[in-house]
Amino acid sequence: MTAETLLSRVTATAVTAALLVMTGALAAVAETYPSQHYTLRLVTVAKGLDQPWGLAWLPDGRMIVTEKEGRMRTVTPKGILSPPIKGLPEVDDGGQGGLLDVIVDPDFASNRTIYFSFSEPGRGGKGTAVARAELAGDRLENLTILFRQEPKSRGSRHFGSRLVIAPDGTLFITTGDRGERDRNQNFAINRGQVIRIHRDGRIPEDNPFVGKTGFRPEVWSYGHRNPQGAALHPETGKLWIHEHGAAGGDEVNVPRAGRNYGWPVISYGRHYFGGKIGEGTHKEGMEQPIFYWDPSIAPSGMAFYTGDKFPKWQGSLLVGALKFQLVARLDLDGEKVVREERFLEDFGERIRDVRQGPDGYVYLLIDSSDGRILRLEPAGS
């Protein structure tokens, strides 16, 4: 080998090594994102999910995840997906419907119970329904339907469907207007409401409309459009929700018993085809949001952060976005939003759900046909 050949090979090797180092550096940069207080790193926990919608944790550390098409799986902390769980009811996954939210009973260790929402087919079309069942290995047993949105309709939009267990043990259910805004102020049917029931399906005697003619007794609040985020405030225990507006007017609300939140009579949004909605932004007897987005970010998923991995976020409200494909962090002073920070703005994928894990990290569900569970960490942790 000549000196020139040796020099050429050494040079080529050095260039290749340099390129590999640069490629690795670029890959690392691509996985990190800036925010006000932290450099954020996204870690893929699991992949190969088809439009994952809801996420919860079992006491043994596994996650349980729903896929819109009608599958439910468990996921190990190392990201291993189980086969689809058997025993689910029939699900209509047309349009925005499908297998939607899932939560775990506080007493799961003793009763093995989970709750989930889905678009249920039936007479007249489909509507939001909520079931409870016992998770027994790879199947559901003793399944019971706790709530059915009535009447069903043939529309394919606005199922709502977030589930939250309140401090008193009751179950909150968010329901959408099913794309029928002209029926949303008809209080004798289920359109655009927060529902409150016992975990066995009974209606609490202290619900605001129990015994009132023309109102449904399971209703807690009404006048909502399409609430796809719900969480309990960590200090007050109150339910907070967010809901999709039309072209603008996504809202954050703290739904109070018996209150009317105005859709479609009042709104900060506009029709998709142009023009104002209803009578404006205010009307006596109708509640104001504590915060709204205009233009719409299309919010989905919501969590109050209380963990120790992001101490400067404690007390913040985290909201995912489908249209704007980001996470919004809202700083709060009581029930007032004092500041909004947006991050992952260059991420480029629809965020369907945001949850705080038992480990204190933030988890995201990516809404795509090759959906993933992602863990959000401070870089360097």
DSSP 8-state class, residue 183: G
CB within 8 Å of 149: residues ≥ 6 apart: 127, 128, 129, 175, 178, 190
Per-residue pLDDT of 295-306, as tens digits, reads: 999 999 999 999
Whether residue 37 lies in the annotated active site: no
pLDDT band at 7 (very low <50, low <70, confident <90, very high): very low
DSSP 8-state class, residue 276: B
> Among residues 158, 224, 242, 244, which one is catalytic?
158
> What is the extent of the structural domain holding 123?
33-378
Could you tell me if residue 19 is inside a domain?
no
On the question of pLDDT at 1 being above 80, the answer is: no
- Please provide the distance, in angstroms rounded to a whole number, between the alpha carbons at the two ends of the chain: 49
Could you tell me if residue 28 is inside a domain?
no
Could you tell me if residue 278 is inside a domain?
yes
Could you tell me if residue 74 is inside a domain?
yes
List the CATH number of the domain containing 306.
2.120.10.30
3-state secondary structure of 74: strand
Could you tell me if residue 24 is inside a domain?
no
Could you tell me if residue 22 is inside a domain?
no
* Predicted pLDDT of residue 16: 36
Per-residue pLDDT of 270-315, as tens digits, reads: 999 889 999 999 999 999 999 999 999 999 999 999 999 999 999 9
Domains: count for the chain: 1
Could you tell me if residue 141 is inside a domain?
yes
Could you tell me if residue 16 is inside a domain?
no
Question: Is this structure's pTM higher than 0.85?
Answer: yes
